[in-house]
Amino acid sequence: MHFRLLGRLDVTASDGSSIALPGALARAIVARLALAGGRPVQRDVLIDELWSEREARNPVNALQVQMTKLRTAFTERGEAGRLAMLAGGYQLALDDRDHVDVTAFETSVRQGRERLRTGAYEDAEEILRTGLGLWRGRALEDLADGVFEGERRRLEELRLTALEDAAHVGLQRGRAQELIAELTALLADHPFREKLRGQLMLALYRSGRHPEALDLFHRGRILLDAELGLAPSPELRALQSAILEHDPALMASTIARSAAERLPSSGLSGSGHTEGNLSRSLGPYVGRRGALRALRETITRERLVTLLGPGGVGKTRLALEALSLPDSPLGALWWIDLAATGEDGVLAVLATTLGLSDASVVTDQRPLDSLRRVISSLESRTAIVAFDNCEHVLDAVAPLVNTLLDACPQLTVVATSREPLGIAYEAHFTVEPMTAEEAGELFTLRAAKINPSFAAEPGTRQDVLILCRRLDGLPLAVELAAAHVRMLSVAEIDRRLDDRFALLVKGDRTAPARHRTLRAVLDWSYALLGGAEQEVLSELALRVGGTALDDAEQTGTLAPEMTGAPDAGHGGGLLPILTQLVDKSMLFTVPGGYGTRFQMLETVREYALARLRTEGRLQQAEERFASWALDFAAKHSAALHSRDQAAHCLHITEETANLRAGSELLVRQGRASEALFLESSLGYFWYVSGREEEGIDRLARTLDAYDSEPDASDPARRPGPREEWALTYTFAWLAWLNHVAGRHESALGYEERYRAAWRRARNPDVAVIGPVYEALYARLTADEDRGDLFARAEAGIAGTAFQWDRAVLQYNWSTYCLHDGDPDAAGEHALRGIEAARAADDPFALAICLTARGDAMESAGRRQEARSLWSEASEILRTMDARSRWAYRALRLAYLDIGEGDFDRADRRIAEVERIAAEVISYDLAYAGANLRAVILAARSRFTEAAAALREVASAEVAPRHRRAVASLALTICGEGGPADGERLADGRREAAAIIEPLARDAVGLLLAEATEWGSPEPGRRYALHERLARSPSVRAAFC
């Protein structure tokens, strides 16, 4: 049987004939029982629901009469027994062959939504549309009883939500135009349903009917306000904003994205970049479609493309848009903003962006060549490197780009600059101003964001076009002008700007017209700012890296006299001021690790700095900025010694450009000693974050400036306590960072100055920490029998607040004892280092001390204890994202795995180490991993493969000596005897004789002696090197 309730009630027998129901009451009873879905309905319920509004002396008898009539009607069509009395009620007997359209509809909605959740859009739409097709009109249309009203409303709401779901799927499947008529009709019947309104707006937008989409929002807003006193929902307002901005995401459907992901890779690999740093959504882009196409074609065709044009013309935005469109022809894209970089820092910024900042090497390894590492990272990649804001560092960028293009055949370079790079084969792409129509579209978009009621009516549109022509189509000028539509009409903006143009023409007739235009708009926009806004803007220009809101509010360094004092309509605090500056296009926001950051375009920053000078406020602003830099460096460097170490590293990283600017400002002011304090405060940051080269450069440059000051060489001059502290730590960090970077001669030179500085100092704190690092450098120079230095340093620092320095001391004392062949003492000192690191609450110091104790335990044959300690250190470094340092702990654990015969686990660890080695271009990690992998291959009797890996290590010039020595001796294990093995052992001896690091030298010596004693292998017998890894004395230092 079929029971249809989604419209007028209709009941059909199994043979397809219609059953005539005897009267309205009988129809109501059948409908009520059908809605129960085969479940019994109590007699009293039926009476209460259907007779409460009817007059009946005996409703029980009346119900029985109606049931008799219904049974007769059903029996006449062959459906006897369908209406049964059961447990004090009545039941409509149904089986699997029967069909109730309400039940079928509800099932379709449920199944369709399940498919929708799993992304099966085609199935979801088919199921939803099938269920909606069951409707023949208004639900329960001819049933007037009150009991049906609630059910009718429920079914109608379910139908509307199903229609919305079906429309959503249709939009995702790219059928926007087909849905417009359906959505228009639905919205006419249900004008307050915002989801329907939003879907129709999106369908109109995707069909190219942008004005109608915005008009639909406008009419909805008026309706809500007039009828309900409400504003549109945040979701609907966000959609309107996206339409105004022509957000590219509005045109992208989930189906299209999924299909794109299933396509095979090709030269146009899509926007899902697996490598690179340009992953953020760029938001809307207005106009310049022709320029965009031409630029993308040029980038596809040429290997070096420089976008040229004056400040404010939109070079950066055009380049970003061209490189971020969905079919960008690239495998990786690296975007490097050079606005806050000096010529000396271009290579360092590139290396850091590529993840190659870690310059630490093992003792027997040559210093890393940053340029060589960058080339190694890029030479086999299909990639684009984009340098933004090159005009002030051309002398550094041009030769670097030239070298990269010569060495990396699949590399493309894009640059933005006000001047060409001047390199052969450079393709110049001149960025022209917008047409008046494009600029008008940008103005309208920006104006609508500032003032949602702004509407470009025919008369207003003409005013906008006239204004945009006067602004020479410069995007920055257009945005600045549009920021004032909240208070002024377009005609008023034009009239007020006209006065500024006249003044500028009189003042400087030789300046290019576009320069005069932008200056006029900046002057006018600046004049309309309140006093607090002007001061904050101009002072913010000193912060080349922008500012975090929380930092600016907490330090109060941006116009502090304004903080907390209402001005120009602002409440207390900086947030209202900064918000107004964003609204007026003087600032823009970017997300940061510590919340929103406020930045300005370089053109605006140059203008704001000029105002700071001309208004006579530069000196006071610079003093506040320098004070902020000094305080920030001291505060956050001290906070590095805490379990929030990673967070403080991130915070310092975000402010690196500002801190460099603060340091350079101090040097220019003749305050190099304070600059030294700032830079030396950052020494631990450079080491922990793996940016040794950058730290060396910053410290050395500041020290050179200090040494160049007139009174620096005066023997009668005595530095103050803070200066003594800064000098001591400057020399200490320069010695250490140069040592870990492999520049041992430079390290020794700084160590000598360190010794002289601390011994001459009168600062009592320097007297405590001075012996600590003198003992360290005695170890680095391999001085024998200098345990007294460690003992003296410990006596001076024990019981003081310098727990971190004590942890460093004990770590180095542990290493000294291990070198001296005393693992028990080494373990004891490492344990004291662990206690000091925990007292200092310093995760990084704890990790290195745990590692040192693990090394001591392994040397003493206590390998399970070593595993536990190395694992704990590994976990700490993993959470800090210290990749290369984590990898060295993973090598230690793989070494233990091999000794225990767990080759599969060792294989997995080594594979991860090799991946990291490739990412950071670490030659030592790569060759250390190769040696251990060869040991595994030999243990599995895959001698040919092992020999191939070892030959590569043994012949690699960039491999440290002990890696080459181990590879040479291991080759004898893979050979079959004869003269070749003798030559390999001789090679190993030559390499071993030159090894500097004591532990590695001893371990390689042991292996060479055992390999020599073993001699030429007998047939079928080979030296089981993998078993040697589990025996004493330890040879761990030869491998990891």
SS (H, E, C) 512-530: CHHHHHHHHHHHHHHHCCC
Q: Which residues contact 612 (CB under 8 A, 6 or more apart)?
A: 538, 539, 541, 542, 618, 621
Contact (Cβ atoms closer than 8 angstroms) between residue 346 and residue 397: yes
More confident residue, 997 or 982: 997
Buried b (16+ CB within 10 A) or exposed e, 189-224: eeeebbbbbbbbbbbbbbeebeeebbebbeebbeeb
Q: Tell me the C-alpha distance between 292 and 897, whole Å.
A: 56
Per-residue model confidence (pLDDT) at position 512: 47
How high is the mean pLDDT of the chain?
A: 83
Over residues 931-953, the mean pLDDT reads: 90
Per-residue model confidence (pLDDT) at position 23: 84
Q: How confident is the model at residue 115 (pLDDT cuts 50, 70, 90)?
A: confident
Q: Could you check whether the bond before residue 1033 is cis, i.e. omega within 30 degrees of 0? A: yes
Per-residue model confidence (pLDDT) at position 255: 32
The answer, yes or no, to whether residue 721 has pLDDT greater than 60, is yes
Contact (Cβ atoms closer than 8 angstroms) between residue 90 and residue 33: yes
Tokens representing 433 are 């101003």
Q: How confident is the model at residue 467 (pLDDT cuts 50, 70, 90)?
A: confident
Tens of pLDDT along 885-908? Answer: 999 999 999 999 999 999 999 999
Q: What percent of the chain has pLDDT over 90?
A: 32
Per-residue model confidence (pLDDT) at position 1023: 61
Q: How confident is the model at residue 666 (pLDDT cuts 50, 70, 90)?
A: very high
Smallest CA-to-CA distance from 873 within 849, 839, 904, 899 is with 849
> Left (φ > 0), alpha (ψ -120 to 50) or beta: where does 881 sit?
left
- Secondary structure in 3-state letters for 577-618: HHHHHHHCCCCEEEEECCEEEEECCHHHHHHHHHHHHHCCCH
Q: Tell me the C-alpha distance between 442 and 438, whole Å.
A: 6
Per-residue model confidence (pLDDT) at position 556: 58
Per-residue model confidence (pLDDT) at position 780: 66
> Left (φ > 0), alpha (ψ -120 to 50) or beta: where does 616 sit?
left
Task: State the CB neighbour count (10 A cutoff) for residue 107.
Answer: 12
Q: Poorest-confidence range of 70-79, 820-829, 859-868?
A: 70-79
C-alpha angle 894-896-901 in degrees, rounded to nearest 5: 90
Per-residue model confidence (pLDDT) at position 814: 94
Phi, psi of 49 (to 5 degrees): -80, -35
Q: Poorest-confidence range of 554-558, 712-716, 905-909?
A: 554-558
Tens of pLDDT along 262-287? Answer: 222 222 233 333 477 775 445 567 77
Question: DSSP assignment of 9-35, as one string?
Answer: -EEE-TTSPBPPP-SHHHHHHHHHHHH
Per-residue model confidence (pLDDT) at position 691: 87
Per-residue model confidence (pLDDT) at position 326: 54
Q: Poorest-confidence range of 383-397, 576-590, 693-707?
A: 576-590
- The partner residues of 430 in beta bridges, in order of sequence, read 308
CA 682 to chain centre: 24
Phi, psi of 946 (to 5 degrees): -60, -45
Q: Tell me the C-alpha distance between 825 and 815, whole Å.
A: 10
Per-residue model confidence (pLDDT) at position 669: 93
Q: What percent of the chain has pLDDT over 70?
A: 88
Q: How confident is the model at residue 499 (pLDDT cuts 50, 70, 90)?
A: low
Contact (Cβ atoms closer than 8 angstroms) between residue 870 and residue 888: no
Tens of pLDDT along 132-170? Answer: 989 988 898 888 777 788 888 889 999 999 999 999 988
Highest mean pLDDT among 437-446, 513-522, 621-630, 1022-1031: 621-630
DSSP one-letter code for 570 = B
The answer, yes or no, to whether residue 750 has pLDDT greater than 90, is yes
Q: How distant, in Å, are the alpha carbons of 28, 308, 814, 849, 871 from that of 857?
A: 87, 62, 11, 12, 13
Per-residue model confidence (pLDDT) at position 561: 52
Contact (Cβ atoms closer than 8 angstroms) between residue 664 and residue 679: no
Q: How confident is the model at residue 564 (pLDDT cuts 50, 70, 90)?
A: very low
Per-residue model confidence (pLDDT) at position 266: 27
Per-residue model confidence (pLDDT) at position 252: 52
What amino acid is encoded at 124 in this protein? A
- Cα R_g (the chain), whole angstroms: 39
Over residues 188-201, the mean pLDDT reads: 91
Q: Tell me the C-alpha distance between 954 and 971, whole Å.
A: 9
Q: Please report, in angstroms and rounded to a whole number, the separation of the first and last CA atoms in the chain.
A: 80
Q: How confident is the model at residue 754 (pLDDT cuts 50, 70, 90)?
A: very high
Per-residue model confidence (pLDDT) at position 421: 93
Over residues 215-221, the mean pLDDT reads: 88
Over residues 213-240, the mean pLDDT reads: 85
Per-residue model confidence (pLDDT) at position 239: 87
Q: How confident is the model at residue 105 (pLDDT cuts 50, 70, 90)?
A: very high
Q: Tell me the C-alpha distance between 892 and 860, whole Å.
A: 15
3-class DSSP state for residue 452?
coil
- The partner residues of 276 in beta bridges, in order of sequence, read 333
Tens of pLDDT along 33-54? Answer: 888 888 888 888 888 888 766 6
Per-residue model confidence (pLDDT) at position 307: 94
What amino acid is encoded at 430 in this protein? T
Q: Poorest-confidence range of 9-18, 386-395, 729-738, 989-998?
A: 989-998
Per-residue model confidence (pLDDT) at position 632: 93
Q: Which residues contact 808 (CB under 8 A, 6 or more apart)?
A: 772, 776, 833, 845
Alpha helices for 420-474 (secondary structure H): 436-450, 458-470
Over residues 83-98, the mean pLDDT reads: 82
Phi, psi of 357 (to 5 degrees): -80, -25
Q: Which residues contact 715 (CB under 8 A, 6 or more apart)?
A: none
Per-residue model confidence (pLDDT) at position 557: 58
> Left (φ > 0), alpha (ψ -120 to 50) or beta: where does 742 sit?
left
Contact (Cβ atoms closer than 8 angstroms) between residue 155 and residue 161: no
Q: Tell me the C-alpha distance between 372 and 129, whole Å.
A: 62
Over residues 300-307, the mean pLDDT reads: 92
Residue with tokens 């004005």: 211
Q: Tell me the C-alpha distance between 927 and 932, whole Å.
A: 9
Q: Tell me the C-alpha distance between 518 and 497, whole Å.
A: 11
Per-residue model confidence (pLDDT) at position 594: 72
Smallest CA-to-CA distance from 773 within 725, 706, 832, 817 is with 725
Q: How distant, in Å, are the alpha carbons of 958, 990, 993, 1008 from that of 962?
A: 12, 10, 10, 12
SS3 content of the chain, % helix, strand, coil (to 5): 65, 5, 30
Per-residue model confidence (pLDDT) at position 864: 93
CA 880 to chain centre: 16
Per-residue model confidence (pLDDT) at position 364: 67
Tell me the pTM.
0.67
**Strand 427-430 versus strand 304-308 pairing type:** parallel
Smallest CA-to-CA distance from 707 within 727, 728, 681 is with 727
Tokens representing 411 are 């590399």
